[in-house]
Amino acid sequence: MQQTCKQCQTAFEISQNDLAFYVKVSPVVGEQTFSIPPPSLCPDCRQRRRMSFRNERHLYRRTCDVTGQNIVSVFAPDSPHKICEKNHWYSDAFDPFDFGRPYDFSVPFFEQFRRLLLDMPLPSLRVELSENCEFNTDMRECKNCYLCARTHQSQNMLYTYHGSKCNDCIDCTQVKKSTFLYECVECVNCQDSRYLFFCNDCANCSFLLDCRNCMDCFMCCNLRGKRFCFLNEQLTREQYQAKLKEFDFGSMRMVRMAHEMYRGIRQKAIRRNLMNIQCENVTGDNLFHCKNCLDCFGVLDSSDGRYLYDVNLYRDAMDAYTGGRDSELVYETTSAAASYDTGFCVRTSNCQRIRYSFFINSSKDIFGSIGLRQARYCILNKQYGKEEYEKLLSKILNHMRSTGEFGEFFPASCSPFPYNDTAAQEYFPLTKSQAIALGYRWQKEEPKVPKEQISSSPDSIDGVKDDIISRIFACETCGKNFKIVPQELTVYRSRRIPLPLQCPDCRYAARHAEQNPRHLRDGICAKCGKKMKTTLTPDRPERIYCEECYRKEIY
């Protein structure tokens, strides 16, 4: 079945498997089934819409609209939404039922939900079960972290995105079960290393690409089970240590020279066309232990999925961004965890049969509500009995059918964030005018301090004095101001890391650019000439091999 996206006009296909899934997730109310229609947007536009409901990295100082406290929040001070300090919002002192209201059949549902969204204070942050982690977002079970996002079960982390079960990592992206890493991307079980890209089980290494089970290696690519390698050449311990003494890791000038050498090494490197490990019948990239997952990216331990980004432990799911913990039959969700038969929601946890709702925990049979915990049979934050709930819900779904809202995710007008503050801007970038034309808000640029207050940093960390933490720096890339915090300086000195010349946002953007794109394209194996699918762009310096040729060459 062919469809044309009503937003970008791209043609896309809806398969028989897709149609069968829509039947599975169509809500049944009483004895009536409300069949979910095929989507009106293409997969990319649907993913962009879901991602536009997630501010993952931008933090602001503002006042809590409920308690009057000075707080840190993912909502800017000029946000149209009322914001509540997170601990108060999740406490018994805050009652989401105070904002309940009856359904108005003279007004479209999305407009009624938007009014509820503007009337009810929203939580300032999501930082749960953590200690000394106020300047972070989307964090759980962490300690002593600063300006990290999507980081869990970790300690002493700085400027890291998507860290899991890690300690003492700085400026990393997508790292897991690792310690003492600096500027590393897509690494698992690595220790005491810097500038690693797509590496596993490596220790005391620097400037490596696609290496496994290596130790004491410098400026190498595609190594397996090696030690004391320099520029992919095997050396003795003594030779390697003599070579390494020539390099001063504490000097920014030397580090930049090394980055230039590394770019040359990459031209000799080999990359696998797709990083799909122990998978069966999958399409997409960065899939691990998956089965029957099509057009998915960054998915782990999942089966029977379609159009999934960054989820794990999902079964029978479609159109989702982030989530995990054994979720099943989820459709058009952002951050659904441990949820079953849930659709068109943002942040549900331990839930069943939740639809068109935000921030719902440990609840069942909820529609069009925000912030409910351990609740059941609620619509627009108003409590009903079972029979009354089902009767009203049937009428509402029929009403949504008549307005064309049923089966669609929330529109841009319901996103609580400006588009350029969301994850969507990173994967589907828009200009201000394009975002506004689609109905999104746009966050104005942060003001910069006068130039006379802006400092430059010494080339070597050895020349940095204690007063550096009181100075303001200007990013050499974007001009944005940033500071060095005390715990950051302590780490730079102890590990001999030169002070950064870019702001945290530009450092993150450089790491993000190293990750594989999330679009499949047709390619040709650089070794055998066979046609293949890949996410790697043709302008990349590495040679892109099909999986068979890659294995023959590397192993």
Q: What is the pLDDT of residues 228-260, one digit of tens each?
A: 999 999 999 999 999 999 899 999 999 999 999
Question: In the prediction, which pLDDT does 468 show?
Answer: 93
pLDDT for 334-367, tens place per residue?
Answer: 999 999 999 999 999 999 999 999 999 999 999 9
Residue 518 exposure: Cα atoms within 13 Å on the Cβ side: 22
Instruction: Supply the pLDDT for residue 1.
Output: 86
Is the separation of the CB atoms in 359 and 86 below 8 Å?
no
For residue 173, pLDDT beyond 90: yes
- The predicted structure's pLDDT at residue 492: 97
- pTM greater than the 0.85 cutoff: yes
Q: Which of 228, 225, 198 is nearest to 210 (CA)?
A: 198
| DSSP, res 158 | B
The first and second tokens of residue 139, run together, are: 């964090």
Query: What is the secondary structure of 124-153 as a DSSP string?
Result: S--EES-BS--S-EEEES-BS-BS-EEEES
Q: If phi over 0 gives left and psi between -120 and 50 gives alpha, with beta otherwise, what is residue 365?
A: left
Confidence (pLDDT) at 383? 97
Determine the Cα–Cα distance for residues 413 and 107; give it in Å rounded to an integer. Answer: 15
* Residue 89 contacts residue 123 (beta carbons within 8 Å): yes
Residues 57-92: tens digit of each pLDDT: 999 999 999 999 999 999 999 999 999 999 999 999
Rounded CA-CA distance 133/555 in Å is 43
* CA nearest to 139, candidates 57, 76, 67: 57
Distance, CA of 82 to CA of 80 (rounded, Å): 7
3-state secondary structure of 514: helix
> Can you say whether the dihedral through the CA atoms of 516, 520, 523, 525 is positive or negative?
positive
The secondary structure element, H or E, covering residue 423 is none
Q: How far is CA 176 from the centre of its chain?
A: 14
- Cβ count within 10 A of residue 270: 18
Token readout for 368 is 């069009």
Directed axis angle between helix 109-119 and helix 386-403, to 10°? 120
- Is 70 exceeded by the pLDDT of residue 24? yes
Q: How confident is the model at residue 555 (pLDDT cuts 50, 70, 90)?
A: confident
Cα separation, 358 vs 335, whole angstroms: 10
How many CB atoms within 10 Å of residue 70?
10
Q: What distance in Å separates the CA atoms of residue 309 and residue 299, rounded to the nearest whole number?
A: 7
Secondary structure letter of residue 356 according to DSSP: S
Average pLDDT, rounded, for the chain? 95
pLDDT band (50, 70, 90) for residue 416: very high
Question: Over the stretch 449-481, which tens digit does the pLDDT of each residue have?
Answer: 666 567 778 899 999 999 999 999 999 999 889
Q: Mean of the pLDDT values across residues 119-124?
A: 97
Per DSSP, 112 falls in state H
Q: What pLDDT was estimated at residue 324?
A: 85
Check residue 56 and give its pLDDT.
Answer: 95
pLDDT in tens, 393-409: 999 999 999 999 999 99
* Alpha carbon 97 to chain centroid, angstroms: 31
